[in-house]
Amino acid sequence: METKRENVTAAETQTMAENNDATTPERANAPEVKMRARDLNLWYGETQALHDISLDMYAREVTALIGPSGCGKSTFLRCLNRMNDLIAQVQIRGEVTLDNEDIYDPSVDVVQLRTFVGMVFQKPNPFPKSIYENIAYAPRLHGTGTSRSALDDLVESSLKRAGLWNEVADRLHTPGTELSGGQQQRLCIARAIAVNPEVILMDEPASALDPLATATVEELIHELKDNYTIVIVTHNLQQAARVAGYTAFFHMGQIAEFNDTDTLFTNPREQRTEDYITGRFG
Amino acid sequence: MQRRLTGSADDPRIRSRYRTESRFKAYTITALFVAFAIILAFFADIITQGYSAFWRSEIQVTLDYNERAERVGQFALQEELREVVSRGAVRSIPLEIRNNPELAGSTREVWVPVYSRVDQYLKGNEELDPELAPIVDRLAEEDRIRNVFNWAFFTSGDSKLPEMAGIFSAAVGSILVLFVTLMFAFPIGVMSAIYLEEFAPDNKLTQLIEVNINNLAAVPSIIFGLLGLAVFINTFGVPRSSALVGGLTLGLMTLPIIIISTRAALRSVPDPIRLGAFAMGCSRWQVVRDHVLPLSLPGILTGTIIGLAQAMGETAPLIIVGMIAYIPDAPTSIFDSATVLPAQVFTWASEPRKAFVEKTGAGIMVLLAILLTLNAAAVFLRRRFERRW
């Protein structure tokens, strides 16, 4: 991983920009920052869970959020696609932007936002429908794939990108809930990809999986990075080190430290970061 | 070698612990046995009292369509049979002759039902008039009396003559009432539950509504009858005794049951399914329609069926809205006067005549059979359509 991490520098940024030019010209001048939080505060009723969070999440990079339980990292993640809206008595102040567009602006359609910012949950939660329907559901809902053949193609390409195609190609119409845990999680990732989001949020996507399935999912995250901006919450520090280019360390509802993953893990600025990553608490 | 695992049998504390345990177990078994015995006794009583109503005695007679029979049907019978044959069997003879004048003067050999007291005598339930008994005995010896399955019990309505009385009109009434109840309570109940469970904010008002719904389920059913009387009959002028007013009244009573069971079914859909759907960009309605409802439908249907089964066995509120009426002919619409099975049983149970005792038992058996079928359907639906995840 050392080699990988070394050069998130000019060279790679440039190749990324070139990729941009080639594949999606309209995004050519998009800023490098995909999502940005500024002075974000969040209260559950009377309890403040997030304090002045400011964080930049870079395009086509994996940003890991680490920290001890209850530090607010999952809460912050859910702010990025406004899943917190579903919880009563949540109050949010501050700004979160997607491509410089405030996602908490009253004119924002949450449904629209979530097609740009997809999410994968801790526990695999495929719908109790067939594998095919799991993936075809959202595109059909949003009207992006209406014809049968277009849907078939979309299902195939999504499953391929999630690395699941070879395992399920011959049983697309069996229930998604009959897959193994790791397969279910990759199905959920495929399901998120099928909507063609720009950002994928992952809330401890591998914590319910065995080591082998975890490795597969991590590899997948690595590949997805080329096309998507990924924000991942993880308890597993090695996992953060393996998959993420940038890591934010959350502590007591604040960002204690944010840096590229290498620096954060090898040369942390803060004492509490060091204490956490060396296992003295957490 | 010291045996540490078996030596405790002498320990008084352990012995007393085992004693307490077996005593407690004996209590539970006794309780179960008592409950089972009571149910068994109940069924045995109903069946022994009621099974004979499914059979009836018929007598072979020669009907003589003479001139006097054109006015009073009983004159078509030989004199000694006039007390033996059911009045109900011959009362339509004048009408028959009027409709088919060519019948006049002819004779016909037919099997007709016997008078209810003769029927009871033949079934061994009751003594008979000393003058009549020898005649019946002789007829039986001549093989002019037979015992057949009482189809008429299922195809005819109530009658003042026990041998002619059946449950058909009450059954039709019950079906109409349940239909109205379902149409009224199911959509309102399910929609209310969906709103409360999926859309409503969790505030004081919804909490108040929730508490009230739970309390409504515990309100004595007769209160609903009074409400139905006041609202549907007195205010809205719905015809009294009709299946419509009965169905609406029972609908009021079933509503909280449907709401509560639907909410339970909705709540049993795991949240990750909802969250997953929301994260895909579903609106609330899409989440409910595509994910929550399909998963909770078996539970909703089960609750509805159980609510309907309860409504079907309900009598008190229907008495208040006039559904205890004497209904010989089956209602043909929800606006006709009607009665229901339990009300029919109630009517028969208050009859002093012996022949109605077996009708009561038979009516209860039919009612129980229908309720068991409904409950079995609920269990079947739950088993068949329950999806695991």
Give the burial class of A10: count Cβ atoms within 10 A of its Cβ; 0-12 exposed, 13-18 middle, 19 or more buried: exposed
Residue B75 has pLDDT above 90, yes or no: no
Beta carbons of A88 and B281 less than 8 Å apart = no
CB contact, 8 Å: A128 with chain B?
yes
pLDDT at position B234 is 93
Residue B155 has pLDDT above 70, yes or no: yes
Q: pLDDT tens, B162-187?
A: 888 999 999 999 999 999 999 999 99
| Domain count along chain A | 1
% of residues, chain A, pLDDT over 70: 88
Contacting A residues, span 73-92, partner chain B, CB-CB under 8 Å:
81, 83, 86, 88
Alpha helix stretches (DSSP H) within A164-230: 165-168, 181-194, 211-224
- Residues in A closer than 8 angstroms to B270, CB to CB, are 125
**Confidence at B200, pLDDT banded by 50, 70, 90:** confident
pLDDT at position B4 is 67
Identify the domain containing residue A244 by its residue range.
Answer: 25-277
- Say if A6 falls within a structural domain: no
Mean pLDDT over residues A234-247, rounded?
91
Whether A144 contacts A224, CB under 8 Å = no
pLDDT at position B179 is 94
CATH code of the domain containing A270: 3.40.50.300
Residues of B with CB under 8 A from a CB of A: 201-202, 270, 272-273, 275-283, 286, 290-291, 295, 387-389
Give the burial class of B359: count Cβ atoms within 10 A of its Cβ; 0-12 exposed, 13-18 middle, 19 or more buried: buried
Chain mean pLDDT for chain B:
89
- Residues in A closer than 8 angstroms to B278, CB to CB, are 83, 86, 114
Q: How far apart are the first and last CA of chain A?
A: 24
pLDDT at position A12 is 44
Residue B149 has pLDDT above 90, yes or no: yes
**Confidence at B248, pLDDT banded by 50, 70, 90:** very high
Mean pLDDT over residues B106-128, rounded?
89
- Residues in B closer than 8 angstroms to A81, CB to CB, are 279
Domain locations along chain B: 57-148, 168-385
Beta carbons of B272 and A115 less than 8 Å apart = no
Closest-CA residue of chain B to A201: B279
- Residues in B closer than 8 angstroms to A192, CB to CB, are 279-280
Q: pLDDT tens, B255-269?
A: 999 999 999 999 999
Q: pLDDT tens, B340-378?
A: 999 999 999 999 888 899 999 999 999 999 999 988 988
Nearest to A114 among B202, B279, B389 (CB): B279
Closest-CA residue of chain B to A190: B280
Closest-CA residue of chain B to A81: B279
Beta carbons of A86 and B275 less than 8 Å apart = yes
Beta carbons of B286 and A141 less than 8 Å apart = yes
Mean pLDDT over residues B69-93, rounded?
86
Mean pLDDT over residues A138-150, rounded?
81
Mean pLDDT over residues B185-191, rounded?
95
**Confidence at A3, pLDDT banded by 50, 70, 90:** very low
Beta carbons of A128 and B279 less than 8 Å apart = no
Is this complex's ipTM strictly greater than 0.90? Answer: no
% of residues, chain A, pLDDT over 90: 53
Beta carbons of A141 and B389 less than 8 Å apart = no
Strand order in the sheet with A101-102: A47-58, A33-44, A90-98, A101-102
Residue A151 has pLDDT above 80, yes or no: yes
- Residues in A closer than 8 angstroms to B283, CB to CB, are 111
Residue A25 has pLDDT above 60, yes or no: no
Q: pLDDT tens, A255-280?
A: 999 999 999 999 999 898 998 988 87
Chain mean pLDDT for chain A:
85
Distance of CA A136 to the CA centre of its chain: 21
A219–chain B nearest CA distance, Å: 23
CATH number 1.20.120.160 is the correct assignment for the domain at B168-385: no
Interface with chain B: mutation pick from A80, A113, A114, A125, highest number of B CBs within 10 Å: A125
